[in-house]
Amino acid sequence: MSAAMAKVSVLRYRPEQDEVPVWQDYQVPYSDDMSVLTALNYIKDELDGTLSLRWSCRQAICGSCGMMIGGKPSLACKTFLRDYPEGIRVEALAHFPIERDLVVVMDGFMDKLQKVKPYIIPKEARSLDEGEYLQTPAEMDLYAQFAGCINCGLCYAACPQVGLNPDFIGPGAIALLHRYNLDSRDGGSAERMALINSEVGVFNCTAVGYCSEVCPKMVDPANAVNVGKMNSARDYFFRFMRPAGEKGECR
């Protein structure tokens, strides 16, 4: 008995020869435990070495293999051929420019990650001999969910507002921003507020909510963005009641 085969259609884009992306079909040997990533690597190793894709850990930790699988933003390592008996269509992550085949241009996303200042900005200077920061489990629980982000970009591929306005800071970066704002050791909320309030900030969101649905790490970026709207509105209406002159703030 010959081994069962599965059809994998891949949206190819080779900038040196393609004007627009084109679909190409491959047949790969099928097994119940075969992930889409394994199938793509089979294609690259055995059928067509020109296929380009990003991957690393194979266990939904590194966030490299995000792509559109059956039209949905998914991690290729966490999606299995067995769930697509009719064959599978694989395309580069939506709302990102395609660099080549399944590889997208991440530069804009990297810029956005930097813009949110994703690091602890201490409330006040602290010397080494004062020791480490202490944090209770309850304080950590406030932000722990948002710290689970692996920067895979699935939420950006799920957000039509990112597609319509590529400058929108987007769900993942705002979730990361929120993670630092919620950290008891951090004092950078006011500095980050200008970005939240800005033209590229939280009000680009129209509460589609798909970002949180597709997240492979159970982060809830839609919640971070919408709580950001609340904070932004509060900042707007109550800004006259705070002392002026804090860094990064305007009145």
User: Where would I find the beta strands (DSSP E) of 49-120?
Assistant: 66-69, 72-75, 88-91, 98-100, 103-104
Binding-site residue total for another protein (CB under 8 A)?
Answer: 30
Q: Does 248 bind another protein (CB under 8 A)?
A: no
Task: Output 29 or 97, the one with its CB closest to another protein.
Answer: 97
Task: Output 6 or 211, the one with its CB closest to another protein.
Answer: 211
Task: Output 81 or 219, the one with its CB closest to another protein.
Answer: 219
- What is residue 39's three-state secondary structure? helix
Q: What is the CA radius of gyration of the chain?
A: 21
In this chain, which stretch among 16-24, 41-49, 53-61, 77-85 interacts with another protein, using CB under 8 A? 16-24
User: Which of 3, 20, 134, 218 contacts another protein by CB under 8 A?
Assistant: 20
Task: Output 15 or 29, the one with its CB closest to another protein.
Answer: 15
**CA distances to 21, 94, 134 from 228, in Å:** 37, 25, 26
**Which residue matches tokens 């990297």?**
110
**Within positions 91 to 110, which residues make up the interface with another protein, using CB under 8 A?**
94, 97-99, 105
Task: Output 13 or 180, the one with its CB closest to another protein.
Answer: 13
Q: Smallest distance, Å, CB 248 to another protein?
A: 23
What CA–CA distance (Å, rounded) separates 194 from 159?
Answer: 22
CB 178 within 8 A of CB 196: no
User: Which of 22, 110, 230, 233 contacts another protein by CB under 8 A?
Assistant: 230
Q: Does 208 bind another protein (CB under 8 A)?
A: yes
What CA–CA distance (Å, rounded) separates 84 from 70?
Answer: 8
CB 6 within 8 A of CB 30: yes
List Cβ neighbours of 74 (8 Å cut-off, separation of 6 or more). 36, 66, 67, 68, 154, 214, 216
User: Which of 113, 173, 183, 220 contacts another protein by CB under 8 A?
Assistant: 220
Q: Does 217 bind another protein (CB under 8 A)?
A: no
User: Which of 128, 207, 218, 241 contacts another protein by CB under 8 A?
Assistant: 207
List Cβ neighbours of 146 (8 Å cut-off, separation of 6 or more). 175, 176, 178, 179, 182, 219, 220, 224
Residues at the interface with another protein (CB under 8 A): 13, 15-16, 20-21, 71-72, 94, 97-99, 105, 138, 142, 160, 163-164, 206-210, 212-213, 220, 222-223, 226-227, 230
